[in-house]
C-alpha cells in the first residue's frame, strides 16, 4: 500500500499540500523523495521572496512553451490564488513565460535577415519613426532593458516586431505584478533549463537590480528553477508505480 510522505518531509512542510506523485515516489524510493525535498528547501534558504512570487515563478516555468507541464501549472496556479494572486497577475506571468522565448528567436531571425540583405524584397534597416521610438521607451521603462536586438528588429520589421513585443510585454500598460517582480520572474524563467539563456538572465538580473531587488531575492529567483529536472520524478514515478503494480498483479 502506498504511504503518504511524513509531514516533516520538506515538500509537504513548504507547500502545505500533498501530491499523488510524492506518495508514489515515497513508496518506490523514500530516500529519493527526501533528496528532492532537501533540494526544494535549499533553493529558498532565506525566504527572500514571498510565497506568491515563488508560485509565480513555478507557474511561469511550467508554462514555458519548451516545457508545458500542465499538471504542475495547475497545482501552482491554485496555490498562488490561495496566497492572494489575482487572474490579472497570473495572466501577466503567462505573458512573461511567452516573452523569454523571444530573444532566441530574434537571434535566429536577425541571422536570416543578414543573409537576405542582398535579396530582392528583403527587409532593410530603416529609421525608427517617433511612434516606434516611443514604443521602445515604454518597453524599456517597463522591463528595465532595451537590448540591441530589439532596436535592430524594430528597424528591420517594425510592424511585426511591435506586434510581437506588445503580446509579450504590452509596453503601454503598467505591470500588475510590479516591475521588480516582473524582472525577477523573467530572470528565473530565462535561467530555467527549457530556456537556458545566460545573456537574457544577466539582462533581467541587471533590470531587477535597477528596480530595487536585493541580491538575496535574485539568488533565490534563479535557484527556484534549478530543480526543474525533478519533473522527471513527478511524471515518471506514477508511470513506474503503475508498471510495477501491473507486473506484480499479473
Task: Give the three cell numbers for residue 53.
Answer: 512570487
What pLDDT shows up at residue 9? 53
Instruction: Report yes or no: 59 and 90 within 8 Å, Cβ to Cβ.
Output: yes
Query: CA 245: distance to chain centroid?
Result: 35
Residues 174, 239: one domain?
no
Residues 155, 37: one domain?
no
- Average pLDDT of the residues of the chain: 90
Expressed as residue numbers, the domain containing 246 is: 1-43+228-250
Per residue in 79-137, pLDDT (tens digit) is: 999 999 999 999 999 999 999 999 999 999 999 998 998 888 877 888 999 999 999 99
Contacts of 171 (CB under 8 A, 6+ apart): 135, 138, 139, 141, 142, 143, 165
Query: Residue 59: left (phi > 0), alpha (psi -120 to 50), or beta?
Result: alpha
Whether the model pTM is above 0.85: yes
Per residue in 160-197, pLDDT (tens digit) is: 999 999 999 999 999 999 999 999 999 999 999 999 99
Instruction: Report yes or no: 153 and 110 within 8 Å, Cβ to Cβ.
Output: yes
Alpha helices of 116-178 — where are they, by DSSP H? 130-143, 148-156, 158-169
Residues 180, 216: one domain?
yes
Residues 39, 111: one domain?
no
Task: Give the three cell numbers for residue 35.
Answer: 533528496
Q: Burial, 103: exposed, middle or buried (Cβ in 10 Å; 0-12, 13-18, 19+)?
A: middle
Residues 138, 185: one domain?
yes
Residues 124, 242: one domain?
no
Amino acid at each position: 500500500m502506498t504511504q503518504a510522505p511524513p509531514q516533516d518531509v520538506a515538500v509537504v512542510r513548504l507547500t502545505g499540500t500533498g501530491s499523488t506523485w510524492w506518495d508514489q515516489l515515497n513508496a518506490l524510493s523514500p530516500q529519493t523523495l527526501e533528496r528532492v525535498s532537501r533540494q526544494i528547501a535549499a533553493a529558498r534558504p532565506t525566504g527572500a521572496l514571498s510565497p506568491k512570487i515563488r508560485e509565480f515563478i513555478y507557474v511561469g516555468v511550467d508554462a514555458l512553451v519548451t516545457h508545458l507541464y500542465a499538471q504542475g501549472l495547475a497545482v501552482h496556479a491554485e496555490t498562488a490564488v490561495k496566497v492572494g494572486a489575482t487572474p490579472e497577475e497570473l495572466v501577466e506571468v503567462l505573458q512573461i513565460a511567452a516573452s523569454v522565448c523571444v530573444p532566441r528567436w530574434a537571434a535566429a531571425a536577425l541571422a536570416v535577415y543578414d543573409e537576405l540583405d542582398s535579396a530582392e524584397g528583403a527587409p532593410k534597416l530603416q529609421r525608427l519613426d517617433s511612434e516606434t521610438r516611443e514604443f521602445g521607451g515604454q518597453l524599456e521603462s517597463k522591463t528595465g532593458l532595451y537590448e540591441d536586438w530589439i532596436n535592430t528588429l524594430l528597424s528591420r520589421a517594425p510592424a511585426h516586431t511591435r506586434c510581437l513585443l506588445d503580446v509579450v510585454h504590452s509596453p503601454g500598460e503598467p505591470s500588475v505584478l510590479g516591475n521588480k517582480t516582473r524582472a525577477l520572474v523573467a530572470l528565473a524563467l530565462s535561467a530555467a533549463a527549457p530556456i537556458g539563456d545566460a545573456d537574457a538572465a544577466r539582462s533581467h538580473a541587471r533590470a531587477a537590480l535597477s528596480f530595487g531587488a536585493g541580491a538575496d531575492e535574485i539568488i533565490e529567483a534563479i535557484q527556484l528553477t534549478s530543480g526543474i529536472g525533478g519533473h522527471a520524478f513527478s511524471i515518471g514515478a506514477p508511470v513506474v508505480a503503475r508498471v510495477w503494480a501491473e507486473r506484480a498483479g499479473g
